[in-house]
Amino acid sequence: MNVEREIVPQSLGQQPAGNAQPARRPLHAFVQWIIGYLRDTAAMARDLAHVPGIKIAALLILPYAGVLIGLDVAGHYGALTNAPLPVQFNLASDGGFGEWLEYSLTLSIAVILFILWRNDRQWAYLTNAALFVWLTLDNSLEIHERAGLWIARPFAGQTALPVEAHHLGEALLFLAIGFIWLSGLWLSLKRTKPRMVIYSLLLAGCIAVAAFFGVIVDLMVVWGPHSPVALEVETFIEDGGEFAMIILTFIVTVAIFDTERPRSQAEMSD
């Protein structure tokens, strides 16, 4: 990827001289602005896919991740056939092999983003780094489970929904964390380079999909009764989807770092 390339969304580009366009309605202009950023985000994703660092990260992580997914599948099969395997085989078990990989990846993402912030002073990097510090602490210390019980305490036994109140408390906590993160991201991106906006869109997309598995699919797993087979399949989808998105986020972060490092070094030398 040519690191000197400056991607500017088409919606922000200037019209050629002598070819004035009639004034567009605000909604139409906003839609075109969003489409422009989405197109440039897709173009940036294609460029990042060819960064050398992304291949190294994939070679280091994906083989081991494949082994862990295989162990998780074996664990679910063992649960269905009354041949339980060690709990460490399950991706989401506390202290399991998959959980330790997730801890290391989310903490590594936070460190990489913090280094990028130190180099460029783009506050969106620091905002995202803070989120991944929180995710690491939450995943390792079970913060959302404890907070969910505390939030749901006044409503215990009073909900008519087919789900325990503490699961709703956990979802509310994640909703609050998401609101804080998005607010900080919005403030940090108001006056920043278009390239930084595109990076943030890529990371936010990965985070949003991971949140879908970790919050929405998690609620589906605990919502009402399920057959044993359905429960194991849904649990695998939840844990595996979240696991895959954390890996993808790490790889994308490495690609961003590998792209921005030469640019930062060039600016510092000037």
pLDDT in tens, the chain (270 residues): 444 444 444 444 444 444 555 555 778 887 887 788 788 888 888 999 999 989 999 999 999 999 999 999 999 999 999 999 999 999 988 889 999 999 999 999 999 999 999 998 899 999 999 999 999 999 988 888 888 889 888 776 666 778 888 888 899 999 999 999 999 999 998 878 888 888 998 999 999 999 999 999 999 999 989 999 999 999 999 999 999 999 999 999 999 999 998 776 666 555
pLDDT at 264: 65
- Spatial contact of 177 and 140, defined as CB atoms under 8 Å apart: no
**pTM for the model:** 0.85
In order, the DSSP letters of 4-65 are: T-----GGGSPPPTT---PPPPHHHHHHHHHHHHHHHHHHHHHHHTT-HHHHHHHHHHHHHH
Entry field: residues in the chain = 270
List Cβ neighbours of 102 (8 Å cut-off, separation of 6 or more): 139, 243, 246
d(CA 131, CA 180): 9
> In terms of C-beta density within 10 A (0-12 exposed, 13-18 middle, 19 or more buried), how is residue 66 classed?
exposed
- Give me the half-sphere count of Cα atoms (radius 13 Å) on the Cβ side of residue 188: 22
